Amino acid sequence: MSNTQLNRLHLILGGARSGKSRLAENIAKKAESEGLTVCYLATAQAHDEEMNQRIIQHQGDRPQHWDLLESPLYLAEAIKEALQKSDCVLIDCLTLWLSNCLCHENSDFYDQQKTKFIEFLNQFINDKSRYKSKKLIFVSNEVGHGIVPMGELSRQFVDQAGWLHQNLAQLANQVDFVMAGLPLTLKSDVQDNKS
């Protein structure tokens, strides 16, 4: 049985410009070569020119024929929508979604959205009939390797990102950490059949 026949949840972590998005896109391309349709779910918002240029670069790096869904805030609902028409959904990235939610005018917004998100992921994992051949690939920035930030919002962001990554790593079938373009597998439930 190939990996794409399994109910898969793949988390890819790494620093800025580590190669994590490239790895995620290559995994999605492999899933596509095995017959799955791909949707790219973007969470970025272009609030300034530098971010706009980053978005344009990401758009140029991925295949133009993939479906695109943009959802900076309502991630659980967006993933459900994407899975209705696509077999493989690449979400890039979780830390931008987290930042968008933390800066929302409703101070409870992130907690509400995270609860919906984790509830959906549990449903995704447990509902084998509906999601049997579906795949979710999450890209997220690992921000916990530096010093503790000075500002309250920055500390909250680092804490929440760490807790979110721990939650996802518990649920994920595969977790990879990328540095200098090289992936290091932290968790995998795929059996190696080379013996």
- The residues annotated with a catalytic role in the active site are 58
Using CA atoms, how far apart are residues 179 and 152, in angstroms rounded to an integer?
A: 28
DSSP the chain: --GGGS-EEEEEEE-TTSSHHHHHHHHHHHHHHTT--EEEEE-----SHHHHHHHHHHHHHS-TTSEEEE-SS-HHHHHHHHHHH-SEEEEE-HHHHHHHHHTSSSTTHHHHHHHHHHHHHHHHHH-HHHHTT-EEEEEEE--TTSPPPSSHHHHHHHHHHHHHHHHHHHH-SEEEEEETTEEEEEEE-PPP---
